[in-house]
Structures are given as structure tokens and as C-alpha cells.
Structure 1
């Protein structure tokens, strides 16, 4: 008995590992169906939970954006546009930076 305990036969070792790691299906048909339905129910709960969490994240992002813009006037609102006004944000670029951006000659 002692000699068989420490025998390192590769085929038996792989067989033991494979049998220990493989899931075993129950023999009763009703138990197989019940476990399958239970697995599908758990999957559905996880999917619904992730959908709810995702919707909550989107709603929180929209509420945060709305809260940050709450006192600012909306561009173009309460103004008359006669077609001659261009609304936008501009910044002044120094002349030195404009000269540095020369186009290299082709060739």
C-alpha cells in the first residue's frame, strides 16, 4: 500500500487532475434541468444587475454635467442673431509661434 501511494505515473496523475477539475453532471434528469435553470437565473440576475449599474452610471454622469452647467447661460439664448454674429471661443496666438510653423519646402 505504501509503495502505491507515492507512485508518480504520468498517465494516472493526469487522469486524477482531469477528473478533479472536470465538472460532474448529476445523473438524474430533473436535477440536471433544475441546475440548468438555476444557472440561467443566476446569469439573468447578473446581466440585469450590470444593466442597472450601467444606467445609474450614465444618469450620474448626466446629472453631474447638468449640475456643473447650472448657472451658465446657454449660447445663443436670449440674443437676436441677425446672421452677422459668429459665436465661439478664441485665443490669441503669439506672433513667434506663428513664425515657427512654417511649411517646409517640397522636394
Structure 2
């Protein structure tokens, strides 16, 4: 026995020798993978549906916005205020 080989193989994973057990464990692995994929798909669809309902609910129950927020025109008067320059310091 080599110096680097361990005799302690308690937690080492080895493929089962029996062919039916190999097939069964392979099917279990494929089933777990399919369950995770389908679960992720449904979770993603639920998140998209929640976001859509959030937007629809926000649009239905939103208070009326001012015309400017909707792209309309607001009529008004204005005056131009020039920038104030401080006086030059005297020498």
C-alpha cells in the first residue's frame, strides 16, 4: 500500500455494482433534475405574473397626474432672471 492511499473510504462515493441499482439511481437523479427545472420554471412564471399584477394594479388605482406628467402642455407666464454678479472688490 502506498503512503498516500487511505484505507478510510467511509465517505467515498462509488457507483453501485448492481445494474438495476445503477439504473434506479440514474432515474432518481434525472427526476430530481426535472423537479428543479420545473420548479424554477413555475417560480419564474409566478414572479412575472406578480410583476404584471403589480403594474396593472398600480395603473388602475393610481391618482390622476398633472397634465405635464402625461406629456401635455401647461400654459404659463415667466420672467427671465439674469445671473447676479457680485461687485468687484476695490483695491
Which residue does 2:85 correspond to in 1?
A: none
Structure 2 residue runs of 5 or longer lacking an equivalent are: 63-69, 74-80, 83-91
Partner of 2:60: helix, strand, or coil?
A: coil
* Mapping of residues 52-67 of structure 1, within 5 Å: 52-67=42-57
Match of 2:71 among 85, 88, 99: 88
Specify whether residues 38 and 66 from structure 1 end up closer, same or farther in structure 2 by C-alpha distance, changes over 3 A only. Answer: same
Secondary structure of residue in 2 paired with 1:27: coil
Q: Calculate the aligned-residue CA RMSD, in Å.
A: 3.2
Q: Distance in 2 between matches of 1:10 and 1:88?
A: 80
Spell out structure 1 runs of 4+ moving beyond 3 A: 19-22
Would you say how many aligned residue pairs link Structure 1 and Structure 2?
68
C-alpha displacement at 1:29, in angstroms?
A: 0.5
- Compute the TM-score of the two structures, normalised by the length of structure 1: 0.51
* Larger helix proportion of the pair: 1
